[in-house]
Amino acid sequence: MKTLAIDTSNQTLAVAVVDGHQILGQSQTMAVKNHSTALMPAIQQMMQMVDLKSNALSQIVVAKGPGSYTGLRIGVTTAKTLAQTLDIPLIGVSSLKTIAANCVGTTQWIIPLFDARRNNVYTGIYQWQGNILTSIVEDQHTSMDNLLAFLQKETNGEVLFVGSDTAKFARMIKEALPQAIINQVPIWDYPSAAVLALLAAQEEPVPSIHGFVPSYLKLVEAEENWLAVHEAGADAYVEKI
């Protein structure tokens, strides 16, 4: 089964083509300034490099969020268009899970982080159980203070934080959880499209390609302001930690 995987959910632009468990090709760059103009050329180049035509693909996998609102829209829209055009399944995988999956060989809780500004983060809690990366606490938008308080209560502090934004919170983490490990393997802090493709084996295709939308986990500021005035619908975004 040949899979095209796409991740533009944050600064990284990652593309891979995988056949079963065999990686045919992958690219990853953190220097792209505009995913909207760079993504399709990156896909076309990758397909040419691995000598595949688009009709040879069996499925499309995309990082569904959380992450950059713009980046998510670009990646998800491109993936949906390709899946609909080729009439093949589309699978969405958590952007946080993709980062956590880099941390192979670890047994402790893995805490992937994306900066959500104003001392807030997008995060989840994952753990390898055998060969399956299991969600312990679902992805969410929460304050760093709430996350650290939860970990102080529920663990002995021996957890692993991963993600390029973790450095911004390193002092807070070490003050609250002296035994916590902050990832020191740079490549683990960034999404791999090949890892994304392999994670798709644990997921089901989306039931409706047309109805598939990114997992933003947080309303944009304009929507938050509207809800504050109209006092409706905010319960969908309540923090769970």
What is the domain-level CATH number for residue 154? 3.30.420.40
Tell me, yes or no, whether 27 and 40 share the same domain: yes
Tell me, yes or no, whether 129 and 207 share the same domain: no
Tell me, yes or no, whether 167 and 178 share the same domain: yes
In a domain, 119, yes or no: yes
Q: What is the DSSP letter of 204?
A: P
CA distance 225 to 229: 6
- The reported pLDDT for the residue numbered 226 is 42
- The reported pLDDT for the residue numbered 230 is 52
Closest CA to 18 of 87, 80, 110, 93: 93
- How many of the other CB atoms lie within 10 Å of CB of 167? 15
| Number of domains comprising the chain | 2
Ramachandran bin of 159, using left for φ above 0, alpha for ψ from -120 to 50, beta for the remaining angles: beta
CB 61 within 8 A of CB 197: yes
Per-residue CA distances from 237 to 113, 169, 216, 224, 234 (Å)? 18, 23, 10, 10, 6
In a domain, 29, yes or no: yes
- Asked if omega into 66 is within 30° of 0 (cis), the reply is yes
In a domain, 90, yes or no: yes
With tokens 């159980």, the residue in question is 129
Tell me, yes or no, whether 104 and 168 share the same domain: yes
In a domain, 224, yes or no: no
Tell me, yes or no, whether 83 and 195 share the same domain: yes
Tell me, yes or no, whether 127 and 147 share the same domain: yes
Spans of the chain, pLDDT less than 50: 222-223, 226-227, 234-236
- The reported pLDDT for the residue numbered 240 is 67
CB 125 within 8 A of CB 136: yes
Tell me, yes or no, whether 44 and 17 share the same domain: yes
Residues 6+ apart with CB under 8 A from 161: 111, 112, 113, 169, 173, 180, 181, 182, 183
In a domain, 226, yes or no: no
In a domain, 31, yes or no: yes
Tell me, yes or no, whether 91 and 196 share the same domain: yes
Q: How far apart are the first and last CA of the chain?
A: 38
Tell me, yes or no, whether 67 and 17 share the same domain: yes
Tell me, yes or no, whether 212 and 167 share the same domain: no
Tell me, yes or no, whether 147 and 169 share the same domain: yes
In a domain, 23, yes or no: yes
In a domain, 58, yes or no: yes
- The reported pLDDT for the residue numbered 33 is 77
- The reported pLDDT for the residue numbered 222 is 44
- The reported pLDDT for the residue numbered 227 is 43
| Domain assignment of residue 32, given as a range | 2-95+191-217
Tell me, yes or no, whether 19 and 130 share the same domain: no
Coil vs helix vs strand at 70: helix
Q: What is the CA radius of gyration of the chain?
A: 18
